[in-house]
Chain A
């Protein structure tokens, strides 16, 4: 077995343990664990870049390295890098410094495992590893709201896990294996229809809970609102996208034989998730909550890609994943920069930001407009690719729903812009941010502009990683 193929996971998980160890042994602060975590992430990124393009099964077919997994892991690592960059100065003297980074890394490791899993058991491991640390991360601030959010998240995730495991057990009972390859081969010959559909539904519900798809999204707004802002940012991108990639592997590749059955499930989920998420976001006056609903809505857009299912659509989905995660992370980072974890992130906390922090407000405007999909920003390229694929495959109505939803989303994103530029500031004073946070924001702004203006290399990346599709596992 080629151990070098799982170096990224090894680096991340052992780094997490190391950080925990250091913070046990050296309770005095500062420990500069953020920098350590930064170095580890860069190391993992490089090892991941090295194996980009390799294709192999590991652990008896339970773990898959291919273009999609490597590329998505690199994306995750970059996103975690940006989160870490934004965190360093704030958490340097924070009592939970060690725990914070360790838990982030564990969750990242779980998402990376999910992206590679080709066995329901590995998938389950990855899923739990990526969500369990999040409960603690959400309650890190130890405020009533945070505890409430974490508890809600925790209990609903428990139910989801139970349903998911039940689904797995039915698959195992039916087919005698939990391996994706074996399942997909077995489906070609004999299908016991009803239990199979039941198992599929259970697994889907499990996924939907964890990804906060409507109507399984109730934990998300509370958890995001209660969580420290950067944790919310992390929550909205990394575990979510890990699940999405696992879903591509499980549904598009493994269950392709019964595509018509899960298709209807996903089309419905996607429709309600984007519409309901956007409509609920309109009524929020807490920006973190608003972005929570907005990220629910964006999961709906991403599901369009999964539901349409063509190679073009998966490509679009992967590109959208990239542009959504970067812009979303950017928006949360701006909230972090403006509120410094002291304020709740209400709309009124942003009044007059255009005067107090012109660059931050400019960045926020770019991120939000990119999330709407206004050209020439990255979100536009993502949307045109994703909805283009839907039109091409004959899902024009889903594309219509999608673009009209983008118009609805403009309504609430503009509320933030309006607050920043057109409402007089309630406080005085220029907002200062740490240089590392500024670097992170700078990278995000550049990415949003670059992908929007010259998307070709990024589209190639998405094509490259979606290249596994027509071939399946072989």
Chain B
């Protein structure tokens, strides 16, 4: 009798541990906090960010900028974390690399995520390093089953190391492969569903790709898994002839605002980040953009 009771208790505890582990890495959008509207943190706006902290709901930090184990870097990270909810955003994990992840990079990323204890962390669906070559740029992946398998393996390794939920970002596509099996929407859907990850939908990238590769952005949006869209990125684009460029250097264009409205109407999100890197305007302009986005998010939340 005693053996049976002990066995049952062990089974229940084991089940609870497994469930807790799964919860740790499983993305349940409804369980994630609603962070609001924030800004991609850059050193150039440090003073303004603290001065206007009451108008910025959260910050997205580029994890790579905090890999340096210098005390100053750690102090800044702790200072930011003490004032804002932080979301680490990776640039160089290269989740799509066919030769696997760089363990050194993964460990540094893990250290930053563990320091920040974020609600989630994000990376790109792309590759930037392969066969010892560092491209220095997020490069599009072929949309094939082989890529899906490769992503699955790399994401498994990354999420087994880093406990916080992972969300994946769509990139600006500058190359198109000859014999892709999937289109943009179905590829994103497959990646997210197969790996149980959320989507960091870069609305500007979606719009740029739709113009450069001539598809309807709203149609693609409507085919994305609604409950997986967790966070948004937005910023203005550059125009060069017929092509649009993701320069992170312009105020958000009207077309992007319109698409943002569509996105939020389609899928209420937990957060949105303005990604401005270049040609920084007066900070009041940035705050105005954040207020506009907040208004869109609130409006559509009320309607839905």
Chains A and B come from one and the same complex? no
Residues of A within 8 A of B (CB): none
